[in-house]
Amino acid sequence: MKIKLICHTPEPERTVAMAARLCYSAVGAEQLQDKMPAEQIGKLIDKIIEVGHLSAFEHVSFTFAVEGVSRVLTHQLVRHRLASYSQQSQRYVKEHDFEYITPPSIAANPVAVTKFCALMDTVRAAYDELVALGVHQEDARYCLANATETKIVVTMNARELLHFFELRCCNRAQWEIRALAENMLTEVRTAAPQLFAKAGPTCVTAAYCREGALSCGRLAAMSHKS
C-alpha cells in the first residue's frame, strides 16, 4: 500500500480559522486572512472543534494518490460520498499481469495462501484466454477478482476526513481500509496538525464507543490504564 498526500489547500488552518471568524466579523474574508496572527488561528481552531462549528472545515481539501490497494478497499471507499474519486479503469487498462492483494489471514496460512495464489493464476489465465478469443478487456474484466490491485486519486474536505477517520480508524473497520485511513491521517497531520489533532475513532477522541455491544474493547482497556 502506498499513500501520498499530493496537494491540499494552501495554509489550511489559516483558511479554516478565517472562514469561522468571518461569521462574526464586520470585515471581509481577505482582510481577516491577511491580518490574523498565528496565535489567534490556533485558538480559533481549538474553539470551533470544541463547539462543533465544523462547517468551516469544508473550505479546505486534501488530495491523495493511493496505490497498491484492492478493489475490495475501493468498493468501501467510494461509499464515502462527500469526496471525489478518479480510479484506474479496468475497461481501458489491460490487466494481463495484474497484481493482487493478499489478506494477512491468508498470507499467514501456508495452505490457504497456496490455494489463493493458484486461484489468482487461474484468473489471470482465464483473462488472457478471453482476450485472445477476441473478447474486449471491458468484458474480460468480469472474471477479475476483488483482490486485483488498483490505483485511485481521492479528494476530501477536512470535515469529511474527520468523519472518515472516525469510522475507518476504528479497530472494527476492515483491515485494509483501516490501514488506508491510518496512513491518510498521518499524512494530513503533517500538513495541518491542529485540524486533525483530535481525529480518529470515538474511543480515542470522545471516550465512547459507537459500536456498542460489538466494541473491540479498546475503550475499556484505555479506561483501565487511566
* C-alpha to C-alpha distance for 74 and 81, rounded to whole angstroms: 12
Instruction: Kindly write down the DSSP assignment for every residue of 82-134, as one continuous string.
Output: SEEEEE--TTTS--TT--B---HHHHT-HHHHHHHHHHHHHHHHHHHHHHHTT
Whether 91 is catalytic is no
Map residue 49 onto helix, strand or coil: helix
> Of residues 71, 141, 168, 178, which has the active-site annotation?
168
Could you tell me the three cell numbers for 163? Answer: 468523519
Burial (CB < 10 A; 0-12, 13-18, 19+), residue 128, is middle
Q: ∠169-211-2 over CA atoms, to 5°?
A: 15
Strand order in the sheet with 61-70: 2-8, 61-70, 149-157, 83-87
The tally of CA atoms less than 13 A away on the side-chain side of residue 77 is 28
Q: ∠118-121-124 over CA atoms, to 5°?
A: 155
Active-site residues, by number, are: 168
